Structure 1
Amino acid sequence: MQSSSETGLPAGWEVRRSNTKNLPYYFHPETKDSRWEPPAGTDPEALKNYMAAHHSTKGISTSNLSGTEGKIRAAHLLVKHNGSRRPASWREPKITRSLDEARDRIKGFQDQISSGASLSELATTESDCSSARKGGDLGFFGRNDMQKEFEEAAFGLQPGEISGVVQTASGLHLIQRLD
């Protein structure tokens, strides 16, 4: 069993992996409570470090995927702010940073990527989207599946290319086209 000091989760909680989605989730064996978002009282920094060490993915195999005609696959790193449509995440139950602070934060990630860091690895520990569990991978999507600004930027990229900062109602994104 994992220790609370290692995971950053409150006493009794542990990280498990879903058999159906192959994603980590949070479980309390005594109460049988399970959830995708960390429980209240979680130390976000300790959880971030634990997830990076034990639950990061280096990409998802595209074999056996069908029905992707007209679709693309992309990953992203999302930084939310207090004006985002849902100012909460797996990392922070209440996001209070301003839009300007979010912009500074995402530009810092953009600089790290320009210096050789991987968007996927940064997304695993830094993204405010639950796709962080998958290195920011959103899977395949088509036209009209995403917010307009996100979709336009993603479809405008070549495979492997990373966007500049894209602002949507969800927050600020860096997007990498995967396929």
Structure 2
Amino acid sequence: MSTRHPRYVKPQNVSVPEGQIWAAHLLVKHNESRNPSSWKEPRITRSKADARKIIEGHRDRIRSGSDSLGDLAKRESDCNSAHKFGDLGIFGRGVMQKEFEDAAFALDVDQLSDVVETASGLHLIER
């Protein structure tokens, strides 16, 4: 018997303070990540090239509408935020890694980033 996870539903009518954003992400780590382990795998050995293929596949599924970032993050993300469907909450500048922050703040609401590389691994970000 398989366990079904509830489907992620984006909260509505949330007030985000000026200068801050609300974002979610999906992270795929690789063997060059600063901490190559996750809640799913104690030791991540995949190459960066393999991680890129995986995250590009996730990106394509999200863009096609066959999956949402939240639902994929719940199953596939190497970040502990997977347990919250990738939801990182509301944050301002200076909190996240610079590459992540720059990409997240450049997005429009409901927009999905392309693949973003940081020391943690490869991300897809949705604002």
Contact 1:90 1:129 in 2 (8 A): yes
Q: What one-letter code is carried by the residue in structure 2 that aligns with 1:58?
A: V
Contact preservation (8 Å) 1:55, 1:133: no
Aligned residue in 2 for 1:12 = none
Equivalent position SS for 1:100: helix
Higher relative contact order, chain-length normalized (CA < 8 Å, sep 6+): 2
Question: Letter of the aligned partner of 2:42 in structure 1?
Answer: P
The aligned runs of 1:124-135 (5 Å cut-off) are: 124-135=74-85
Q: Which letter maps to 2:62?
A: I
Stretches of 4+ moved more than 3 A in 1? Answer: 54-57, 59-63
1:150 equivalenced with 2:90 (yes/no): no
Question: Partner letter of residue 139 of structure 1?
Answer: G
- Distance in 2 between the 1:154 and 1:165 partners? 11
User: Given the alignment of the two structures, is residue 103 of structure 1 paired with residue 61 of structure 2, yes or no?
Assistant: no
Contact 1:154–1:176, Cα closer than 8 Å, also in 2: yes
Residue type at the aligned position of 1:59 = K
Contact 1:56 1:124 in 2 (8 A): no
User: Unmatched 5+ residue regions in structure 1?
Assistant: 1-5, 7-48
Aligned to 1:91: 40
Amino acid of the structure 2 residue aligned with 1:149? E
Q: Distance in 2 between matches of 1:115 and 1:175?
A: 16
Query: How many angstroms apart in 2 are the aligned matches of 1:79 and 1:62?
Result: 30
Compute the TM-score of the two structures, normalised by the length of structure 2. Answer: 0.90
Report the residue type matching 2:87 in the other structure: D
Displacement after TM superposition at 1:69 (Å)? 3.1
CA RMSD of aligned residues (A): 1.8
Q: d(CA) in 1 for partners of 2:114 and 2:8?
A: 24
| Distance in 1, Cα, partners of 2:18 & 2:119 | 27
Unmatched 5+ residue regions in structure 2?
none
Report the CA distance between 1:73 and its aligned residue. Answer: 0.4
Structure 2 counterpart of 1:79, one-letter code: V
For 1:114 and 1:141, the matched residues in 2 are separated by 25
For residues 62 and 73 of structure 2, the distance between their equivalents in structure 1, rounded to whole angstroms, comes to 11
TM-score (norm 1): 0.65
Residues 98-121 of structure 1: CA distance to partner in whole angstroms, max 9, x if unpaired? 000000000110111121021111
Partner of 1:174: 124
Matched, 1:76 2:76: no
